Amino acid sequence: MNAHESTDLEESMFVAEPLGVEDPRVHPAWLPPEAFRALGARRVLVHGDGLLVDTVLDEVTRACTRYGGRVWHSPSWDVEVDLVLTLRDADELPNSAVEAARSAAEAALVDVADGATLGDEGFLLARAGELTVVLADAPAGLLYGLFHVVRLCAGAFDPARPPELHRPALRRRMLNHWDNVAVHPVMGQVERGYAGGSIFWAGGRPRGDLARIREYGRLLAASGINAISVNNVNVGRAEAMLLTDRLGDVTEIADVLRPYGIRVHLSVTFAAPVVLGGLTSADPFDEDVRAWWAATTRRVYERIDDFGGYLVKADSEGQPGPFTYGRDHADGANLLAEALAPYGGVVHWRAFVYNHHQDWRDRSTDRARAAYDHFAPLDGRFRTNVVLQVKFGPVDFQTREPVSPVLAAMPATRIAVELQVTQEYTGQQRHVCHLGPCWSEVLRFAPWGPGGRTIADVATGEAGTGGGLVAVANTGDDLFWTGHPLAQANLYTFGRLAWDPRLDATAVLDEWMTLTFPPSATAEPELVRRTLHEIMDDSWRTYERYTAPLGVGFMVHPGDHYGPDVDGYEYSRWGTYHFADRDGVGVDRSRASGTGFAGQYPPYWADVYESPQTCPDELLLFFHHVPYTHVLHSGSTVIQHIYDTHFAGVEEVAVMRRRWQTLNGMIDPTVYERVAERLDEQVRCATEWRDQINTYFFRKSGIPDARGRRIH
Ligand code: GCV
Whether residue 626 is predicted with pLDDT greater than 90 in this model: the reply is yes
Q: Looking at residue 5, what is its pLDDT?
A: 31
Q: Which residues pair with 347 in a beta bridge?
A: 310, 386
The rounded Å distance from CA 556 to ligand 1 centre is 15
Written as one letter, the residue type at 69 is G
The rounded Å distance from CA 561 to ligand 1 centre is 11
Whether residue 22 is predicted with pLDDT greater than 70 in this model: the reply is no
The rounded Å distance from CA 366 to ligand 1 centre is 18
Largest CA distance in the chain: 85
Which pLDDT band holds residue 9 (cuts at 50, 70, 90)? very low
The rounded Å distance from CA 83 to ligand 1 centre is 46
State the closest ligand 1 atom to the C-alpha of 391, by its place in the atom list counted from 1: 13
Domain boundaries, the chain: 33-166, 173-516, 546-587+625-701
Q: What does the alpha-carbon distance between residue 668 and residue 688 come to, in Å, rounded to a whole number?
A: 31
The answer, yes or no, to whether any atom of ligand 1 lies below 6 A from the CB of 396, is yes
Give me the phi and psi of 588, to 5 degrees please. Answer: -80, 105
Q: What does the alpha-carbon distance between residue 405 and residue 371 come to, in Å, rounded to a whole number?
A: 9
If one residue of 175, 176, 178, 356 were mutated to test the ligand 1 pocket, choosing by the most ligand atoms within 8 A of its CB, it would be 178
CATH for 173-516, among 3.30.460.80, 3.20.20.105, 3.20.20.80, 3.90.1150.10?
3.20.20.80
| pTM (two decimals) | 0.96
Q: Looking at residue 496, what is its pLDDT?
A: 98
**Architecture of domain 33-166 in CATH?**
2-Layer Sandwich (3.30)
Whether residue 15 is predicted with pLDDT greater than 60 in this model: the reply is no
Task: List residues with catalytic annotation.
Answer: 317, 396, 424
List CB contacts of 489: < 8 A, sequence separation 6 or more: 434, 436, 509, 512, 513, 516, 536
Whether residue 6 is predicted with pLDDT greater than 70 in this model: the reply is no
- Residue of the CA atom closest to atom 12 of ligand 1: 396
Which pLDDT band holds residue 115 (cuts at 50, 70, 90)? confident
Q: How many CA atoms lie within 13 A of 354 on its CB side?
A: 21
State the closest ligand 1 atom to the C-alpha of 234, by its place in the atom list counted from 1: 1
Q: Answer whether 173-516 and 546-587+625-701 agree in fold.
A: no
The answer, yes or no, to whether any atom of ligand 1 lies below 6 A from the CB of 178, is yes
The rounded Å distance from CA 176 to ligand 1 centre is 12
- Residue of the CA atom closest to atom 13 of ligand 1: 352
Q: Looking at residue 442, what is its pLDDT?
A: 98
Q: Looking at residue 10, what is its pLDDT?
A: 32
The answer, yes or no, to whether any atom of ligand 1 lies below 6 A from the CB of 574, is no
Written as one letter, the residue type at 295 is A
Among 370, 500, 382, 505, smallest CA distance to 434 is for 505
Q: Looking at residue 462, what is its pLDDT?
A: 84
Q: What does the alpha-carbon distance between residue 656 and residue 650 come to, in Å, rounded to a whole number?
A: 10
Q: What does the alpha-carbon distance between residue 317 and residue 31 come to, in Å, rounded to a whole number?
A: 38
Torsion angle in degrees (nearest 10) through CA of 482, 173, 217, 669: 30
Q: Which residues pair with 205 in a beta bridge?
A: 202
Q: What does the alpha-carbon distance between residue 690 and residue 712 come to, in Å, rounded to a whole number?
A: 10
The answer, yes or no, to whether any atom of ligand 1 lies below 6 A from the CB of 180, is no
If one residue of 192, 267, 421 were mutated to test the ligand 1 pocket, choosing by the most ligand atoms within 8 A of its CB, it would be 192
Mean predicted lDDT score pLDDT of the chain = 95
Mean pLDDT across 560-565: 98
Is residue 393 exposed (0-12), middle (13-18) or buried (19+ Cβ within 10 Å)? buried
Q: What does the alpha-carbon distance between residue 171 and residue 499 come to, in Å, rounded to a whole number?
A: 8
State the closest ligand 1 atom to the C-alpha of 233, by its place in the atom list counted from 1: 1
Which pLDDT band holds residue 16 (cuts at 50, 70, 90)? very low
Written in H, E and C, the secondary structure of 36-94 is: HHHHHCCEEEEECCCHHHHHHHHHHHHHHHHHCCEEEECCCCCCCCCEEEEECCCCCCC
Q: Looking at residue 451, what is its pLDDT?
A: 97
Q: Which residues pair with 468 in a beta bridge?
A: 416
Which pLDDT band holds residue 4 (cuts at 50, 70, 90)? very low
Q: What does the alpha-carbon distance between residue 69 and residue 433 come to, in Å, rounded to a whole number?
A: 39
Which pLDDT band holds residue 23 (cuts at 50, 70, 90)? low
Q: Looking at residue 465, what is its pLDDT?
A: 86
473-527 per-position pLDDT tens digit: 999 999 999 999 999 999 999 999 999 999 999 999 999 999 999 998 888 999 9
The rounded Å distance from CA 439 to ligand 1 centre is 19
Contact 320, 358 (CB under 8 A): no
Which pLDDT band holds residue 371 (cuts at 50, 70, 90)? very high
Q: Looking at residue 1, what is its pLDDT?
A: 30
Whether residue 2 is predicted with pLDDT greater than 70 in this model: the reply is no
Q: How many CA atoms lie within 13 A of 476 on its CB side?
A: 27
Q: At what angle do helices 539-546 and 436-444 cross, to 10 degrees?
A: 90
Q: Looking at residue 12, what is its pLDDT?
A: 28
Residue 339: how many other CB atoms lie within 10 Å: 24
Q: Looking at residue 24, what is its pLDDT?
A: 58
Q: What does the alpha-carbon distance between residue 335 and residue 347 come to, in Å, rounded to a whole number?
A: 10
If one residue of 235, 269, 367, 396 were mutated to test the ligand 1 pocket, choosing by the most ligand atoms within 8 A of its CB, it would be 396
The answer, yes or no, to whether any atom of ligand 1 lies below 6 A from the CB of 315, is no
The answer, yes or no, to whether any atom of ligand 1 lies below 6 A from the CB of 313, is yes
Whether residue 3 is predicted with pLDDT greater than 50 in this model: the reply is no
Which pLDDT band holds residue 446 (cuts at 50, 70, 90)? very high
Q: What does the alpha-carbon distance between residue 588 and residue 596 come to, in Å, rounded to a whole number?
A: 8
Mean pLDDT across 47-66: 98
386-439 per-position pLDDT tens digit: 999 999 999 999 999 999 999 999 999 999 999 999 999 999 999 999 999 999
Looking at per-residue confidence, does 12 or 332 come out higher? Answer: 332
The answer, yes or no, to whether any atom of ligand 1 lies below 6 A from the CB of 367, is no
665-712 per-position pLDDT tens digit: 999 999 999 999 999 999 999 999 999 999 999 999 999 999 999 999
If one residue of 194, 317, 354 were mutated to test the ligand 1 pocket, choosing by the most ligand atoms within 8 A of its CB, it would be 317
Domain 546-587+625-701 class in CATH: alpha beta
Q: CA–CA distance from 476 to each of 33, 382, 432 (Å)?
A: 22, 34, 18
The rounded Å distance from CA 558 to ligand 1 centre is 13
Q: Looking at residue 19, what is its pLDDT?
A: 55
